[in-house]
C-alpha cells in the first residue's frame, strides 16, 4: 500500500532551479501550432519578473542555469526532471530535440549560477559561476541537482518517454498524463523511482501536457480547466484515487496551470496568470481568501506552449550547505583546490 505522504508539508520549498532564455527560442522552440512571434525582450523581462517573485519576494534560493542557444526549449526546465522529497528523476522527454538537454554539454567556465537570498538586501545576491574541478563536460541539470544534495536517478530506457509537464504530484500520489510526450513505460519508471507513492495514468488527448489544464492550487485542491477534455481527465483522476480532492474549476484551461507554495513565514502562496490576460479565471482564484495571490505573466512563453510550472523545479532542502563549494571574500563560489 503506497504512502499517503505528508499533506501538511505539501508546497514547502526552499530552492528553485530555473534556466535563462536562449534567443533561439523565438524561431526554433517547439510549438503545437503556428502563431504569433515571440518578443524576446518582453519574454526575458517576464521571465526575470517570474524569477524575482520566487527569489526576492518569496525568499527561495534560486539556482539559475545559463541559456544554451542550441537548445531553444531549455527554459522549460520542468520537463527534464521530477523532484519529490530527496529524490530527483532525470526524465527522457518525448520530443527528441529536448533529449539533448540531458546529454553532456561543453561548457566553458560556467555551468550554473547560484542566486541566494540576501537577508540584508531587497534583492538576491548573484554569485559568479561555480567551477567544477576537472569537469568541463557536464550534465547541467544533473550536476545542479546533485549540488543540492538530491539522490539523482536517470531514466535511461530508450523505450521510455516522460515530460515533467505530464506529472502532477498531489502530496499524496502522482498522476501521469499519457500524451504525445509521455508513454506508459515512462510512467512505470517514475513509479519505480518514487515507490512510496501511488502512480496513476491519465490519457491526455487535446493538450500538450496534463498540466496544460490542471495543477495543484493548494493542499487537497486541484485547479482544473472547464473544457470537456479537462473535465474528463479530472473524472478519471477521481476514479483512480482512493482520496477525494476538492476542485477549483477555472474557465480557461491554461489558467488552471498555477504554482502553489507553502512558505512558513508567509503562508499559502499561489502564482497564477494575470487578470489582464484571463480575467474570468482570475476571479475564481480571488475566492481563495486564505492564499496570497500573485499574478504573473508568461504571455510570450505561452506562444510556444509555456506556462507557469514549466519554468522552474521547486525543491525543499532545509539547512542546505553546499559541502563541495566554498565562498571566498568576494562572494564567488568555487571548489577548494
The residues annotated with a catalytic role in the active site are 209, 310
Cα separation, 58 vs 53, in Å, equals 6
Query: 239 with 208: CB under 8 angstroms?
Result: no
CA distance linking residue 297 with residue 275, whole number of Å: 9
Give Cα 268 to chain centroid, integer Å.
Answer: 18
For residues 61 and 333, give the distance between their C-alpha atoms in angstroms, rounded to a whole number. 14
State the Cα–Cα distance between residues 1 and 87, nearest whole angstrom: 20
- Chain-centroid distance, C-alpha 204: 19
Give the cell for residue 150. Answer: 538530491
Q: Which of 85, 102, 84 is nearest to 154 (CA)?
A: 102
Sequence-distant (≥ 6) Cβ neighbours of residue 211 within 8 angstroms: 165, 166, 167, 168, 177, 257, 307, 309
SS3 306: coil
How many CB atoms are closer than 10 A to CB 126?
Answer: 14
Residue 84 φ then ψ, to 5°: -140, 120
Classify burial at 325, counting beta carbons within 10 Å of its beta carbon; exposed 0-12, middle 13-18, buried 19 or more. middle
CB 291 within 8 Å of CB 218 = yes
Q: What is the CA radius of gyration of the chain?
A: 19
Amino acid at each position: 500500500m503506497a504512502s499517503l505522504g505528508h499533506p501538511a508539508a505539501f508546497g514547502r520549498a526552499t530552492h528553485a532551479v530555473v534556466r535563462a532564455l536562449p534567443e533561439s527560442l523565438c524561431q526554433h522552440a517547439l510549438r503545437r501550432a503556428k502563431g504569433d512571434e515571440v518578443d524576446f525582450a518582453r519574454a526575458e523581462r517576464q521571465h526575470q519578473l517570474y524569477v524575482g517573485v520566487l527569489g526576492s519576494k518569496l525568499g527561495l534560493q534560486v539556482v539559475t542555469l545559463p541559456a544554451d542557444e542550441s537548445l531553444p526549449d531549455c527554459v522549460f526546465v520542468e520537463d527534464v526532471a521530477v523532484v519529490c522529497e530527496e529524490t530527483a528523476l532525470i526524465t527522457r522527454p518525448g520530443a527528441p530535440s529536448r533529449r539533448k538537454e540531458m546529454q553532456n554539454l561543453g561548457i566553458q567556465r560556467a555551468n550554473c549560477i547560484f542566486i541566494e537570498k540576501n537577508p540584508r538586501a531587497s534583492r538576491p545576491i548573484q554569485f559568479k559561476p561555480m567551477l567544477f574541478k576537472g569537469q568541463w563536460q557536464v550534465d547541467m541539470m544533473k550536476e545542479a541537482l546533485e549540488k543540492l544534495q538530491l539522490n539523482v536517478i536517470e531514466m535511461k530506457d530508450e523505450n521510455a518517454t516522460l515530460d515533467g509537464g505530464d506529472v502532477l504530484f498531489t502530496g499524496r500520489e502522482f498522476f501521469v498524463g499519457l500524451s504525445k510526450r509521455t508513454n506508459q513505460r515512462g510512467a512505470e519508471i517514475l513509479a519505480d523511482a518514487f515507490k512510496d507513492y501511488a502512480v496513476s495514468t491519465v490519457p491526455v488527448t487535446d493538450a500538450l501536457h496534463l498540466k496544460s489544464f490542471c495543477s495543484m492550487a493548494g493542499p487537497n485542491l486541484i485547479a482544473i480547466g472547464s473544457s470537456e477534455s479537462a473535465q474528463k481527465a479530472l473524472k478519471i483522476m477521481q476514479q483512480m484515487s482512493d482520496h477525494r480532492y476538492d476542485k477549483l474549476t477555472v474557465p480557461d484551461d491554461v489558467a488552471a496551470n498555477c504554482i502553489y507554495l507553502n512558505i512558513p513565514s508567509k503562508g499559502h502562496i499561489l502564482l497564477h496568470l494575470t487578470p489582464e490576460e484571463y480575467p474570468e479565471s482570475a476571479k475564481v482564484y480571488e475566492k481563495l481568501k486564505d492564499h496570497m495571490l500573485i499574478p504573473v505573466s508568461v504571455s510570450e512563453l505561452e506562444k510556444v506552449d509555456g506556462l507557469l510550472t514549466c519554468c522552474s523545479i521547486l525543491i525543499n532542502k532545509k539547512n542546505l550547505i553546499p559541502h563541495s563549494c566554498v565562498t571566498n571574500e568576494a562572494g564567488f563560489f568555487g571548489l577548494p583546490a
